[in-house]
Structure 1
Amino acid sequence: MKKCNQKWFNPQKVKKQIAIAVAISLVCAIPISTFAQVLKFSIKKSNTSIQSVLQELEKESGYTFFYNDNQVKLDKKISINIEDASIEVVLNQIFENSGYSYRIVENQIVIYTTPTTTVQQTVQQKKQQKVTGVVKDIAGDPIIGASIIEKGSSSNGTITNVNGDFSLIVTGNELQVSYIGYIPQTINLKPGVSSYNVIMKEDTKTLDEVVVVGYSTQKKESLTGALQTVKSDKLKDITTPSVENMLNGKVPGVYVAPGSGQPGSGGAVVIRGQATLSGTTAPLWVIDGVIVGSNAGALNPSDIETMTILKDAASTAIYGSQGANGVILVTTKNGKAEKMTVNVSAKVGISKLGRGNMEMMDGAELYDYYKSFSNQEAITFSRYNDKLRNCNFDWFDLAAQTGVTQDYNVSLSGGNEKIRSFLSIGVYDEEGAVKGYDYTRYNFRLKTTYKPFEWLSIKPALAGSRRDIEDKQYDVTSMFQRLPWDSPFDEEGNLVPNRYTGWVNSSNSNYLYDLQWNKSN
C-alpha cells in the first residue's frame, strides 16, 4: 500500500476561497444607484437648449428622461461647463432658475414643473414662530379666557386656559391681549424670545362708567341686566336721517330691517327676535327720560350722546307692558364746563338706482322681436310697421337720477360750574334716486343746566324739528312696463293725456300727466 503524504485539508486554500466568495457577494449586494453616484460627467455647451443637453446626457449616462411636453418646455437656451461632476450636480445647474425640478428613480429621471405654492409655503413656514406665555393680573392670579389675537389677522387667535397659559403660532410681530374689565395690551415680539409674561391692569374707567337705566343712572359694574350701550363716537360716521338705521350692525342681538329706500325712510328695529305673531315688534323709545313711542321721530342723529338698549325683562320692568319688545334709551348731548367750543360737520353722498342684470330692449330690438313671431296675423295694433324701429324712448332714464344727500350740523357747547349750555342746528337734505321725491329736515336743540346752589339744579330744554317733503315721485313700475315705442310727450314737448290714441299701447296711462296736478306735502 502506497503511503500518501498529501493532506486532504489545506487551511490556507480554504481561507482564500472564502475571501473570494465574500467579495463576490458584496459586489452583488451593491445597488445600481451606488454605481450611478460614482459616475462622473463632463459637459461643455454654450447657448444650447436644455433638450439638446439632456439628449447628450441620456446617451452618455444610460439614464432615461421622462416629462410632459404640454407642461415642460425645454427649448430654453443655457450655457454649461462642468467637469467630473455627479449627475445631481449636472442636473442642478441645468434646471437652475428654469422653473423645473427633477426626481431620480433608479435609472429614470422625471422632470416636472416646480409648484409655486411650495415656494410660498416654504417662505411662510420660515416666518412662522410659536409663541407661548401666561396672562395674569397685578395680584399674580391667572386670567382665564383672555383673548390673544395676532395683530392684523382677526382669524388667528386663542384664549388662555385655567392656568392663564396660551400658545399660538404667528407670522407677525405683534399680539393683542384683551379681557373684559382690563386694559388691552399689545405685545411686541422680539427675535429669539418665544415666551412672554403678560400682566394686565383693571380698567377702572370702564367699570365706573355710568349707564342710564330706566329713570336713573348706575355704574356699569353694579348692573346685572342685559343691556348694551352705544356711544356717539361709533355713530358719527353714519349719514342717515333715521336714528333707527344707526343701530344696524352696532349692537349684538338687535336687528334693523331696512326701510323702503325712499328718502327719509327709517328701518324697523327688532330686539332679540320677533316675540309676537301678529302684534308689533317695535321697541319703546325714551329720549332724555321722555317716552316718545315706537320710533325716534325726527331726532337729529348728531345730537345723540349715548344709546342704551335694554333687552331683558329685568331691565325693562320699570316700563311695564310698553317695554315688552325692549327699550331704547337715548341721551342727547349736554353742555360741558369748559370754554365755548364750536363743532361743524358736513357730509355729502350720492345714490343711484341700479338695474341689476335687467336690460330693457330699445325700439329696434323690440320690433325685431315681434317680427320673429310666426303668427304675424295675430298682431293687430296700429302703427305696427318698421317705423317703430326709430321710436326709442327710455322710460328708465326719464325717472332715474343721481340722488344727492347732504347733512350739515353746527353745535356750540360751553359754560362753567354754575351754568352750561348746548346749542345745535342741523339741516339734512336727501334727493331720491328716483325723480320727484325730496326730503328735507331742520333740527334745533337747546339745553341748559343752571345750578345756583349745590342742592338745586335747573335744566330747561327746548327742541324742535321741521320736515319738508316733496312727494311727486315718478312711477317706478312704469320704468319697466312702458313700451319704448310710446313717449309721454308729443312732438311739441307737451304731455300727452291718459290712454293716448297715438300710443301703440293706448290702454296705458301717462303717469306724468296726473303727476303734474299733485301738490307737495
Structure 2
Amino acid sequence: MPQLTSTFPLSAVCSLICCATWGVSTATAQTAAAVSGIVTDMSGLPLAGAHVQLVNSPLHTLTDDEGRFSLRVSTRPVGKTLLVSHLGMLTRRVRIAGTDSLHIRLEEDTHSLDEVVVTGYQKVKNRIYTGAASAVKMSDVRLEGLNDVSRMLEGRVPGLNIQNISGTFGAAPRINIRGGASILGNVQPLWVIDGAVYEDLVHLSLDQLASGDAVTLVGSAIAGLNPSDIQDIQVLKDASATSVYGARALNGVIVVTTKNGRRDTPLSVNYSTENTVRLKPRYANFDLLNSQETMSVYREMEDKGYFNSSSALYGRRGGVFHQYYKAANTYDLSTGTYEQANTAAARRDFLRRAEYANTDWFDLLFTLSPTTQHTLSLSGGGKNTATYASVGFLHDGGWTLPEKVDRLTANLKNTFFVSPRLTATLSAQGSLRSQSAPGTLPQRKNHTQGVFERDFDINPFSYALGTSRTLSPYDANGRLAFYRNNWAPFNILNEYANNTLDLEVIDFKLQGEATYQLREGLSLKALVAARRAHTSSTHKVTENSNLVQAFRANETPLVAKENVYLVHDKDHPDQQPQIGIPQGGLLDNNEASLSSWLARLAADYDFRRGEHDFKAFAFAELRTAH
C-alpha cells in the first residue's frame, strides 16, 4: 500500500516549538498566583511558626516572626482551602474567597490547656498540678494478646519500670515507679479504679513477688479487669501522691478510669474479638548442648569415674545411663528375659539411640493453642441518663501443656442526671476466673549458701531449658519413659497429669457516686464502694507422681539414709528412716477472702480570678479491708 509522507523545513518546525512553548508559558503566567496573609490569635497578636497547608496539596509553609505567610500556587486559588494549625490553638480550615491578603485568627485550645490529672480523689488541671504524673489512653497502649493491664504499660510511661517475673496469667509483675523504696518491704504501686482503692488479694513481699510460687497467681490486683472497659490511666509518680493516700502510695499510684456512656446519644453496640497465637521457644535462641555433645560429656565422665552402674541406679538423679542399667536389671517374667541385654553391643545401641534423640522439649511442652478474647459492649444515653455495659470472655488454651485460663467479666455503669446540679452514678463490676497450672511447692531460702531453692520444680520453661536432650518422653514401644529424679521415677508428662494446681477467683464490686453543684466552681461529692473477693487454690498430687514417690523411696538402706524426704529421727540417727506418706497422695487447699468498703465525702472549690487559679479540696473518708 503506498505511503504518503510530508516534509517541513527545519525552520518551520522550530517556529512551531517556540510558539507552543510561548503559549504554555503565557498560560502558566496567567494562572499562577500567590496566597498570602497573617495568622494571629483572637487578640490580634501574631503567631510565629504556624503551619499553613493547601488542602489536597503538598504545598505548605510556616509563618514568620510577624505571623505572615505566602504560598505560591500553580492554579487559581479561589475556592480552595487552607489548613492552619499552631501548638496550643484550635486547627482551622479557611476557604480562599478572593485575592486579598488573608487575616486568619486562631482560638485557644482550652481542652489541651485544661487537661486534668485524675488523682482518684479529684481532678486537677494539668497546668496547676504540682506533682509528677503521666497520662495514657487505653487506645494508645492496648496490645492485642496481652490481657493484663499492668503489662500493657511496659515502655509506655516514662519512669515506669516493669519486670515480668512470670508469663502466667494473673501473676503480678514487679512494677517500679519511684525507684527502690524498700529493700524487703512491699514494692507494688497502689491501684485506684474509678476513685476507689483496689486492695490486693494477697500482700506479697519482694521475695514472694519474684518467687514464682503459686500465691503469685493471685498477686495482680487488676487481673479481673477487662482492658476493653478502660478509658485511660494516670500514673502518679512522686511524693505528692502520699499527701492523699498516705504511706500506701510510697511506691506510686496508678489511677484507672473506666468507660462511661454518653448523654443524648443513640444506642451503640460493639463486638470485638482477639485471637492470638504465641510462638514456641526454640533451642536456636539458647547456647545449649545437643544430644550428641551431651553424650560425649557423659562418656568422658564415665571414663573418669564420676559415676558407675551403682550410682546411676540408686543415686538421687540418673538419666539415660539409669534407664539402661535399670532395664538390664529388670527381669520380665512373661518373656523369661531381661528387658535389656547386658552386652557391649546392646549397651552401644541403647546409648546410640539416646545420642541421636536430640529431643525438642520446647516443642513437646509448649503449644500453639490460641488465646481468644470476646467483648460485647453497649453504650448510649437519653436526656437524663447515660449507660455503659459490657461482657467479656477470655479463653487461654495455655502456652504450655499444664496451663489453661478461663475468665468471665461483666461491667455495668449508669449515670443519672437528676437535675442541672445533681448527678449520680451507679456501677457494678464482676469477674470469675478458673485457672490450671503445674503443681509447685513454695521456694525456700538456703541461708547457708544465700540462694533460693525449690524442690520438685516442674515449670515447663525451666524443665525444657535444663533437661538433657538425650532423654525421650516415650520409649521404643510408645510407653512413657521414666528416668530418676529425687530417688524416684520421673517423667514430665506423667508429672503434669498427677501434680496439678487449680485456681478459682471470684471478684465483685458495687459503687455509687453523687456530685452536687452548690455554685459555680463549688461542688460536694460522695462515694460509697463495697468489694468482695474470694480465691481458692487446690494442689492435688496423686500417688503416681514423682513428688509422692520421692517421699517413699527407700529401696536400699543407702537410698533410705540419703533420702532427705523420709522421716529421720534426729535423736537416733542410726535408725532406719521412716516413710512419711505410706499411702495415698497429697491435697492442699488454700482459701483467701477479701471484704472491703469505702465511704467518702468531699468538697471541691475551683475558681479563677484573672490569670490566677485557685483550688481547695477537703474530704473525710472511712475505709476498711479484711
Smaller-chain TM-score bracket? 0.5 to 0.7
- Which residue number in structure 2 is paired with residue 335 of structure 1? 261
Matched, 1:486 2:486: no
Cα distance, 1:297–1:398 mapped onto 2, change above 3 Å: closer
In the alignment, the residues of structure 2 paired with residue 162 and residue 326 of structure 1 have an alpha-carbon distance, to the nearest angstrom, of 43
Shift of 1:368: 5.5
In the alignment, the residues of structure 2 paired with residue 340 and residue 462 of structure 1 have an alpha-carbon distance, to the nearest angstrom, of 20
Matched, 1:358 2:286: yes
Cα distance, 1:184–1:388 mapped onto 2, change above 3 Å: farther
- Which residue number in structure 1 is paired with residue 491 of structure 2? 510
Within the candidate set 467, 480, 484, 1:495 is matched to: 480
* Structure 1 residue runs without a partner (length 5+): 1-133, 149-158, 166-175, 187-196
Cα distance, 1:434–1:417 mapped onto 2, change above 3 Å: same
- Which residue number in structure 1 is paired with residue 227 of structure 2? 301
- Which residue number in structure 1 is paired with residue 428 of structure 2? 462
Cα shift readout 1:42-98 (whole Å, capped 9, x = no counterpart) = xxxxxxxxxxxxxxxxxxxxxxxxxxxxxxxxxxxxxxxxxxxxxxxxxxxxxxxxx
The TM-score normalised by the length of structure 2 is 0.49
Task: Indicate conservation of the 8 Å contact 1:407/1:428, yes or no.
Answer: yes
Cα distance, 1:143–1:213 mapped onto 2, change above 3 Å: farther
- Which residue number in structure 1 is paired with residue 245 of structure 2? 319
- Which residue number in structure 1 is paired with residue 513 of structure 2? none
Cα shift readout 1:100-140 (whole Å, capped 9, x = no counterpart) = xxxxxxxxxxxxxxxxxxxxxxxxxxxxxxxxxx9975546
- Which residue number in structure 2 is paired with residue 398 of structure 1? 364
Cα distance, 1:185–1:256 mapped onto 2, change above 3 Å: farther
Cα distance, 1:321–1:433 mapped onto 2, change above 3 Å: same
Shift of 1:266: 4.2
Q: Which amino acid aligns with 1:249?
A: G
Within the candidate set 347, 352, 355, 2:274 is matched to: 347
Within the candidate set 395, 399, 416, 1:433 is matched to: 399
In the alignment, the residues of structure 1 paired with residue 160 and residue 86 of structure 2 have an alpha-carbon distance, to the nearest angstrom, of 23
Cα distance, 1:222–1:499 mapped onto 2, change above 3 Å: closer
Cα shift readout 1:225-246 (whole Å, capped 9, x = no counterpart) = 3322222331344442211112
Cα distance, 1:139–1:237 mapped onto 2, change above 3 Å: farther
Within the candidate set 475, 481, 485, 2:460 is matched to: 475
Matched, 1:248 2:151: no
In the alignment, the residues of structure 1 paired with residue 360 and residue 175 of structure 2 have an alpha-carbon distance, to the nearest angstrom, of 38
Matches within 5 A, 1:405-444: 405-444=371-410
- Indicate the larger mover: 205-214 or 421-430: 205-214
Cα shift readout 1:201-247 (whole Å, capped 9, x = no counterpart) = 52122124454334223444443433222223313444422111122
Q: What secondary structure, in the 3-state scheme, does the structure 1 residue paired with 2:362 have?
A: helix
Q: What secondary structure, in the 3-state scheme, does the structure 1 residue paired with 2:186 have?
A: coil
Within the candidate set 266, 276, 286, 2:182 is matched to: 276
Cα shift readout 1:161-217 (whole Å, capped 9, x = no counterpart) = 99999xxxxxxxxxx99876335799xxxxxxxxxx998652122124454334223
Task: Indicate conservation of the 8 Å contact 1:436/1:474, yes or no.
Answer: no
Cα distance, 1:276–1:519 mapped onto 2, change above 3 Å: closer
Q: Which amino acid aligns with 2:88?
A: G
Q: What secondary structure, in the 3-state scheme, does the structure 2 residue paired with 1:215 have?
A: coil
In the alignment, the residues of structure 2 paired with residue 234 and residue 281 of structure 1 have an alpha-carbon distance, to the nearest angstrom, of 26
- Which residue number in structure 1 is paired with residue 216 of structure 2? none
Q: What secondary structure, in the 3-state scheme, does the structure 1 residue paired with 2:181 have?
A: coil
Shift of 1:288: 1.0
Cα distance, 1:161–1:254 mapped onto 2, change above 3 Å: farther
Cα distance, 1:481–1:292 mapped onto 2, change above 3 Å: closer
Larger Rg: 1
Q: What secondary structure, in the 3-state scheme, does the structure 2 residue paired with 1:385 have?
A: helix
Cα distance, 1:386–1:481 mapped onto 2, change above 3 Å: farther
State the Cα RMSD in Å.
4.2
Cα distance, 1:147–1:365 mapped onto 2, change above 3 Å: farther
In the alignment, the residues of structure 1 paired with residue 251 and residue 84 of structure 2 have an alpha-carbon distance, to the nearest angstrom, of 36
- Which residue number in structure 2 is paired with residue 11 of structure 1? none
Corresponding residue pairs, total: 358
Q: What secondary structure, in the 3-state scheme, does the structure 1 residue paired with 2:243 have?
A: helix
In the alignment, the residues of structure 1 paired with residue 92 and residue 351 of structure 2 have an alpha-carbon distance, to the nearest angstrom, of 72
Task: Indicate conservation of the 8 Å contact 2:138/2:231, yes or no.
Answer: yes
Shift of 1:442: 1.4
The structure whose RCO (Cα within 8 Å, separation 6+) is larger is: 2
Cα shift readout 1:308-353 (whole Å, capped 9, x = no counterpart) = 2222333541212222222221111112121110111112222124
Task: Indicate conservation of the 8 Å contact 2:89/2:108, yes or no.
Answer: yes
Shift of 1:447: 1.0
- Which residue number in structure 2 is paired with residue 385 of structure 1? 348
Cα distance, 1:219–1:456 mapped onto 2, change above 3 Å: same
